[in-house]
Structure 1
C-alpha cells in the first residue's frame, strides 16, 4: 500500500511503478481498490498505467472481474478505462462472450482502439482482422442495445474487409443481424457496397415512408438553407442546377444534412423539402449566404429565384453564435447581413435593415439597428442568433418545422453543380 500511495508523489512515482510491477498479480487487487476509492490522492491514470502497461495481461482477468462487478457509473468508467488500455486484442475477442454487458461493450471498444483503420490509421500488423470481424459480428444482435451499438461502431472502423462479411450476413443471415449489417455495410462502403436487392429495398422503404411523411426540425447545428416561396420543387431544382435527385424523407434529409454540415462542409449535396406551407427549402452548406467560397453564387441564385418566384431567401444559423441571411424579392436584393464575429463581416452587408430586424431589437430592448444612436456591438450580439427567427418571420424556418406544418409532395436529395467539378460526395449510413 505504501508503494500505491507513493504513486501520488512525482518524486517517488517511478520507483513505485517499478515496485508494483515487480509484485505482478499480487498488486492488482490493492491497485483496483485504490482505483475505486474516489477520495484517493492517487490519480486514476497513474493506477491505469501500472495495471495496463507495467503489469499487463497478468492483470486482465482480475480487471475483467472488477468491471463485471462494478455497480456505480463512476466505478464502471474507471475500471473500463483500465480494461481498454491493455490493447490486448486476443483477450478482448475472448471477452466478447462474457456474461456481463459492460465487459462485452468495453471489449468491443478495446478492439476499436487497437484495430481501427479509420481516419487514415494503418492496420495493426499483429491483428488477424477476419477473426476479429467474425467475433464482433454476432454482437450486432446483442440483447443489450448499447453492446450492439458498440459492436456496430467498432465494425465500421475495421476497414474494407468488413464489407464481404456484412454482405454474407445480408444474404445468408442470421436474420437478427441483417438490419445492423446493412448499417455497417453502408457506413464502410457507402451505397456502392450495397447489392442491387438491398438498394431496391432501401428505395422501396423510402417510398413507403414518404406516403405519410411529416415535417420535422432540420437542425444540423451548422444549418444553411435557401427558402423559396413556391411549391415548384422541380422548377427550383432545375434553376439551381441540381441533378441526380432521389426521393428522401425528412429524416433522411436531416441525416444527410448532419453528415454534410459536420464533415468539412460538403458542398456537393443538398436536401430539398417538399412544399411546406407554400415554401420549398433547400438544405446544405452549399446554401450558406456568408460562406466566402459560396457567397457570390448564393447571391446570384437567390436573386434569380426571387425573379421567378417573387420571394427567395438564404440563411445560415451556427451552433456557436453566428448567423447570416440574404433576402430578395422580385429580382432585387433587399438585405444581406453576416454576424460571424469575423473582421470582414461588414463586407457582406447589402441593403438597409429589415423591419423584422428592427422589431427584433425592440423586442430585445435595444435601440433598433439603423438608428443613429444604435449600439453596433449590441446589435451584432443579437444578430448572431437571429437567422432562424427572421426566417420564421419572413416565411418558414427549417429549425421550427413539425406536424403543425402542411406538407405537399415528397422531398429529395440531390447533387449540386459543385459535385460536377469536385467529385461526388461520399455516401454512408443515414436514417430513413
Structure 2
C-alpha cells in the first residue's frame, strides 16, 4: 500500500479501518509526511482536518516544519485548512511555534501566536516571549496576541504590569488592554488610571455624537435634558463621563454578554447620552422592553419617567433582521407595547391600541387598519412582517429620536456617562477594554 493509499484510508467508511490507517501512518513517521502534506494542501480532499491531526500529533515535533511549509505556500482564500491544522498541533511543537513568532510574514506570526495560545497553560512559562507581539506592526497579529494573554488570565498579570512599567514601549498599549480585559480597574496602576482619565477629559472637550450602532440595541428615550434626574429615577450610580463613541462601544460590547455563567451580565451597565435634540437616551440591554427578566421593570420605569417628563419610550432592535420591540408611555400611562421577534411568541407583550404611525404605515402598504379588538397580524403578511422588523428605529424617528440617525448635526448639550445598574452594583462593573481611537479605555474607572 502506498503512502497516499494509507492517507486516503483515513476517510474510510469503517471506523476500524480509519484507526488502522492512523496507526500505520504514525508508525511510518516522517516517511508519511509528504503524502500527508499533499492531502493537507488539497481543499477538496475527503480526508478531514481532524484525521490529519490525529496522525500529525502522533508523529510529533518533526511534523511542524512540513506543516509550516504548507501554510507558507497556501494562497489567500485557500489557507484556512492549513491554518486550522497548524494552530492545533499542540504542546509538542511549542518550540516551533516560538521560532515562528519572529517570522517575516505576519500571517505566519499570527498563526504562531494562535498555536501558542492553543497550548494553554503549557505556554505560561514562555509567555514573556509573546510580549513583543503585543506591539506588532500588524494589527491582526497584535489582536491575537492580546487574545492569548487574556486567555491566560490572572497568571500573566504580573508580567503585563511589568511591561507597563518597563516596556518594551511598543507593547505597553497592548499590555494595558490585556490588564483591563483580565481584571479591569483592579489590575491597573494608579498612574495608568490617571493617564486614561486625562485622555478622556481631553477627548470630551471636542466630543461629537455618532450613530448608536449595536448588533442588539436597546434604549429608553425620555423627553428631557435632565440627565441627572433621569438617572436618579432609574437608580443608576457610579457614573463617569466618556466620549460618545466609547459609550456606544460599551453598549454594543455589553449586548453580547449573558452567555457565560450569569445571564444578567449584559444588564450591568448603561450609556446615558447627553441631551440630544431635547431627549436623553439610556442605552443598554437593561432597557429592553421585551426581555423576560426586564419587561415589567422597563414598563414601570417608562410610566414613572413619563409621569414626570411627559413622554418616555423603550425600544429593542436587532440589526440583522432579528426583530423589534417598542413601548410608548405618556403622562404616566402606557399607550402601546408590541414586539415582533421571528420565532418567538410575543403576544403576551401586546398592550394598548395601535398608534397612528402603525395605521399610517399599513395604509401606505395597502393593508387594512388594525383595531383594538384585532391586533394579531396574519403571519403570511410578508410586507407587514418586514415593517415590524424595522418598527423600533422607524417609530423612534417619528416619536423621539432614531439612534441610528444621530450625527454631527444632532443638537447636543452636555456629555455622555457610563453608569451602573442594580446588576452592576451587585455583580460588579464589567472588566475589559473599550476603544478610544487607538487607545484602550477601561470599562470602569473613576473620574474625579
1:169 and 2:173 matched: no
**Secondary structure at 1:366 match in 2:** coil
Task: Give the aligned partner of residue 118 of structure 1.
Answer: none
Q: Does 1:155 align with 2:110?
A: no
**Distance change >3 Å, CA 102–CA 380, structure 1 → 2:** closer
Once the 2 structures are TM-superposed, how far is the Cα of residue 324 of structure 1 from its aligned partner? Answer: 1.3
- Summarize the Cα distance change of 1:139–1:100 in structure 2 as closer, same or farther, 3 Å threshold: same
**How many Å separate the matches in 1 of 2:36 and 2:278?**
66
- CA displacement at 1:391 relative to structure 2: 0.8
Distance 2:119 2:203 in 1: 39
Note the C-alpha offset of 1:178. Answer: 1.4
TM-score by length of 2: 0.87
Is this contact kept in 1: 2:43–2:81, CA < 8 A? no
The equivalent residue for 1:199 is 193
Identify if the C-alpha distance between structure 1 residues 346 and 431 changes in structure 2 by more than 3 Å, giving closer, same or farther: same
Q: CA deviation at 1:386?
A: 1.2
Give the Å deviation of 1:320. 5.2
C-alpha displacement of 1:274? 0.8
Equivalent position SS for 1:178: helix
State the Cα distance separating 1:106 from its structure 2 match.
Answer: 1.2
Contact 1:287 1:298 in 2 (8 A): yes
- Cα distance in structure 2, aligned partners of 1:297 and 1:14: 58
Aligned residue number for residue 23 of structure 1: 28
Is 1:238 aligned with 2:232?
Answer: yes
Cα deviation for residue 246 of structure 1 reads 0.2
What is the distance in 2 between the residues matched to 1:23 and 1:14? 14
CA RMSD of aligned residues (A): 2.2
Instruction: Check 1:359–1:41 CA distance in 2 against 1; reply closer, same or farther (3 A cut).
Output: same
Moved more, 213-222 or 372-381: 372-381
Counterpart-to-counterpart distance in 1, 2:235 and 2:155: 37
Q: 1:207 to 1:26 in 2, by over 3 A?
A: same
Is residue 66 from structure 1 mapped to residue 67 from structure 2 by the alignment?
Answer: no
Q: Which moved more, 1:325-334 or 1:269-278?
A: 325-334
- Residue correspondences, number: 418
Q: 1:166 to 1:374 in 2, by over 3 A?
A: closer
Under a length normalisation based on structure 1, what TM-score does the superposition of the two structures give? 0.90
Deviation (angstroms), 1:221: 1.5
Q: 1:375 to 1:68 in 2, by over 3 A?
A: closer
- Report the alpha carbon displacement of residue 413 of structure 1 after superposing the two structures with TM: 0.3
Q: Give the superposition deviation at 1:192.
A: 1.8
The range that moved more, 270-279 or 23-32, is 23-32
Which stretch has the larger CA shift, 304-313 or 335-344? 335-344
Show the counterpart of 2:369.
368
Equivalences for residues 229-268 of structure 1 within 5 A: 229-264=223-258, 265=264, 266-268=266-268
Structure 1 unaligned runs (5+)?
A: 116-123
Q: CA deviation at 1:158?
A: 0.7
Shift of 1:387: 0.9
Distance 1:37 1:345, change over 3 A: closer
Structure 2 CA distance for aligned equivalents of residues 160 and 190 of structure 1? 11
Displacement of 1:33 in angstroms is 1.6
1:277 to 2:277 alignment:
yes
Q: Is the contact made by 1:321 and 1:385 (CA closer than 8 Å) also made in structure 2?
A: no
1:302 corresponding residue in structure 2: 302
Q: Matched residues in 1 for 2:219 and 2:106: separation?
A: 43
> Residues 31-430 of structure 1 correspond to what in structure 2 (within 5 A)?
31-51=36-56, 53-74=57-78, 76-88=79-91, 89-115=94-120, 124=121, 127=122, 129=124, 131-264=125-258, 265=264, 266-318=266-318, 319=320, 321-341=322-342, 345-370=346-371, 375-377=377-379, 378=381, 379=384, 382-420=387-425, 422-430=426-434
